[in-house]
Amino acid sequence: MKSLPRFAIIGHPNEGKSSIVATLSLNDGVAISATPGETIQQQRFDLKAGEQTIIEFVDTPGFQNPQATLQWFRENEEAGDGRVKRFIETHGDDPDFHHDCELLRPVLEGAGILYVVDASRPMTAVDTAEMEILRLTARPRMAIINPKSNESRFLQSWKTTFRQHFNSVRTFNAQTARYLDRIELLEALKSIDQDWEPALSEAVELVRMDRQRSTERAAEAIVEHLEQSLRCSCSSFLEHESGVELEKRKLESEYRAKLAKIEKRFREQIRDVYSVRKVAVELPENSVLAEDLFSERAWQALGLTQKQLAIAGALLGAGIGVGADLAAGGITFGVFASIGAAIGAGSALWKGKDLARAKISQLPLGGLKVTVGPNVSEQFPFVQLDRYFLYVEFVSNWAHARQEAEVHLVESNEKAGLSSTWEQGDLKVATRFVKAVKSRNAEELESSGRALRQLLVGVLGA
């Protein structure tokens, strides 16, 4: 059986070892604490591609007595490569060296070393003792600078010392690392031992393949939930016209709640796709994704530009906004006629609550049927799609070391959505899908849905 690449995460307490493990293994269940010394036993966390483990990471305690340990290593120089084994045999039952033995056990078993430090503080004699111990183990090793602040006064002295003790040096912020940052670090691990390059190359390729599968699942979820949003409607039956106005308001509220539930299910599915399950992600109030779907701000920030709306209207075969005010019976919530282009520019005519329409139908045997939805605005599919896409982009780059309850989206995600960047060919793909949903043509829906998924996979993959 081929052995898996294995790395022991080693360092001084409270330097970010557990954060590194959480982010590299994509595991938001790793216990991360600001209290030094919380890790007292080695713990293994696997990086998986699907169900297959491809790299093992071992979170270890911080050094307990590094200077005394270093002295012992120097006094037992004659043991050569057997020093680590002899040290553990000698001190394994000594509580004063419990942590030191525990962190050296995976090294004895053949693990590579990832030494984590916060270089925003000055180097001490304890740090140099730790680095010298690791050098004397003769195992492949990399130093990882995990910056916990913007302080850089001491960075150069750290790097100079690192070059004397390690095969490679990298900077990696576990709290903010995106997908490409993780890939770059995994690629860099190849450099610390040429013999490991084939296994690590295979592991990185499996990570990329797993990412591609996640991207395809995310695109499928976007298309599936966009279809649900475009079909969404609410209906009720009345005996008399006198209750129509009250019923319209009630159905409008139900319609908005139903769309919110669709979006909530979508977000839960995306978090599962990217293994972000255990930390409650609460979008801050200033995020466009925290805005109500029908808020003016959401429609200003997301959806198509004025020029694109004209193109989309032509592709959909109707003037922009006209359909919203042509409900049977003439009773609508719509105010879209003649203001469609203004929506993209944040018009003062904006009426968020008027995005749903009410349709009144006379029943053959008496009474009325009142229906709100589906939404008929040409802009609506693209605002909804942008909300789905931005959430995928956010979650897919989640750093699993994050433990806070509230996470702010990066500023660039709050200014524009995906659809505003599309050329006419991309708009044609999307509007074809919208038309297929409205026509309920199963064959065309399958074909156009497949084309939209392919388009989204390409954009998410980029």
pLDDT tens, 260-314? 999 999 999 999 998 887 655 666 567 778 888 888 888 888 888 888 888 888 8
The three-class DSSP label of residue 367 is coil
Q: How many residues does the chain have?
A: 462
Q: Does pLDDT of 234 surpass 50?
A: yes
Specify burial of residue 243 (Cβ count, 10 A radius: 0-12, 13-18, 19+).
Answer: middle
Q: What is the pLDDT of residue 31?
A: 55
The whole-angstrom separation of Cα 122 and Cα 161 is 12
- Across the beta sheet with 141-145, what order do the strands follow? 43-49, 52-59, 6-11, 112-117, 141-145, 168-171
Mean pLDDT estimate for the chain:
82
Of the segments 123-127, 306-310, 351-355, which one has the largest average pLDDT value?
123-127
- Say if CB 36 and CB 13 are below 8 A apart: yes
Q: pLDDT (tens digit, 9 = 90+) per residue, 7-64?
A: 999 988 777 788 888 888 877 666 554 444 555 678 888 888 878 888 999 999 989 9
287 vs 329: which has the higher pLDDT:
287
pTM comes to 0.79
Superfamily of domain 6-192: P-loop containing nucleotide triphosphate hydrolases (3.40.50.300)
- 373-410 as b/e: b if 16+ CB within 10 A: bbbbbbbbbbbbbbbbbbbbbbbbbbbbbbbeeebebe
Min mean pLDDT across 67-71, 143-147, 307-311, 320-324 is at 320-324
- State the pairing for strand pair 168-171/43-49: unpaired
Q: pLDDT (tens digit, 9 = 90+) per residue, 372-411?
A: 889 888 899 999 999 999 999 888 887 665 544 444 444 4
The three-class DSSP label of residue 119 is coil
- State the pairing for strand pair 43-49/52-59: antiparallel
Break the chain into its structural domains and give their ranges.
6-192, 208-461
Q: What is the pLDDT of residue 401?
A: 54
